[in-house]
């Protein structure tokens, strides 16, 4: 359950007199590996939920909330997903305005963020009521195992113990494959693809469909040509037989006249 949040006057749009910062000037990710992992996961999740207008997926934007003292605070999850709110572009995620705590947060941890991810952020997310919290270290340097998951139980996080971590909120399985965090649909057993991979798959399927259609059309044309040739041959044979019959009749008539 989300903690009690004090409701004080709050800027809810770009026309508010009070400006909420959208950046702290820090880099988007610690390393290229972290950046690539973040973008790949965001892309795969957005592609997976693209047809659901009530699932919002984003990352590396400020999430604003009020702490227990009523002071406004911000935190920037690497990736988070929220069900039950409109899918639309946002510059920040204002919990006071949205009225819905993220269901899932994924942090890509590193040597410099390990303490914050394991303790500070974990405590904040638990107090906010985030149902599931996942940590992943692409290099496997800071935590063992490199992929860890937690479920919120009685206001605190309990570690997930299954071999392949399952997210009830996402409806997906998470697994570490050679330093890559992969997402699988347990219903199909298939790995989630990014938009680029999905488009490539669709292009491939479309190319295969066209190839199959062209092959079918070619085979149909070949059958038609074969049928036309067969009909022409049969007509030619019939004509030859008719000519032979006529010649035999002429020969018989000639013989009769001679006799």
For residue 70, pLDDT beyond 60: yes
DSSP 8-state code for residue 177: E
Contact 98, 65 (CB under 8 A): no
For residue 2, pLDDT beyond 70: no
Confidence tier at 12 by pLDDT (50, 70, 90): very low
Q: What CA–CA distance (Å, rounded) separates 128 from 136?
A: 21
Give the pLDDT confidence score for residue 27 in this predicted structure. 55
Q: What CA–CA distance (Å, rounded) separates 97 from 192?
A: 31
How many percent of the chain have pLDDT more than 90?
55
Query: Whole-model pTM above 0.85?
Result: no
* DSSP strands (E only) in the chain: 55-58, 63-66, 72-75, 79-83, 93-94, 104-108, 132-136, 147-153, 156-159, 165-167, 172-177, 180-185, 190-191
Cis peptide before 145 (omega within 30 of 0): yes
Q: What CA–CA distance (Å, rounded) separates 231 from 238?
A: 10
Contact 29, 100 (CB under 8 A): no
User: Which pLDDT tens digit goes with each residue over 109-128?
Assistant: 999 899 999 999 999 999 99
Q: How many helices (H) and strands (E) does the chain have?
A: 5, 13
């Amino acid at each position: 359950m989300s903690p009690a949040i004090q409701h004080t006057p709050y800027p809810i749009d770009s026309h508010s007199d009070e400006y909420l910062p959208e950046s702290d000037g820090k880099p988007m990710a610690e390393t290229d590996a972290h950046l690539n992992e973040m973008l790949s996961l965001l892309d795969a999740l957005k592609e997976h939920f693209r047809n659901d207008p009530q699932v919002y997926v984003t990352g590396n934007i400020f999430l604003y909330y009020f702490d227990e003292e009523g002071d406004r605070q911000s935190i920037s999850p690497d990736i988070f997903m929220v069900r039950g709110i409109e899918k639309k572009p946002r510059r920040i995620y204002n919990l006071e305005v949205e009225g819905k705590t993220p269901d899932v947060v994924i942090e890509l941890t590193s040597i410099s963020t390990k303490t914050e991810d394991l303790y500070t952020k974990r405590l904040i997310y638990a107090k906010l009521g985030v149902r599931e919290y996942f940590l992943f270290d692409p290099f496997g340097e800071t935590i063992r195992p490199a992929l860890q998951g937690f479920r919120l139980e009685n206001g605190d996080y309990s570690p997930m113990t299954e071999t392949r971590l399952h997210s009830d909120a996402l409806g997906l399985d998470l697994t570490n494959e050679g330093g890559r965090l992969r997402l699988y649909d347990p219903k199909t057993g298939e790995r989630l693809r990014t938009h680029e991979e999905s488009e490539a798959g669709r292009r491939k399927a479309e190319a295969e469909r066209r190839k199959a259609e062209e092959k079918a059309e070619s085979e149909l044309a070949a059958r038609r040509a074969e049928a036309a040739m067969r009909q022409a041959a049969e007509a030619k044979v019939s004509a030859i037989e008719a000519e032979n019959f006529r010649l035999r009749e002429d020969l018989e008539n000639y013989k009769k006249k001679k006799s």
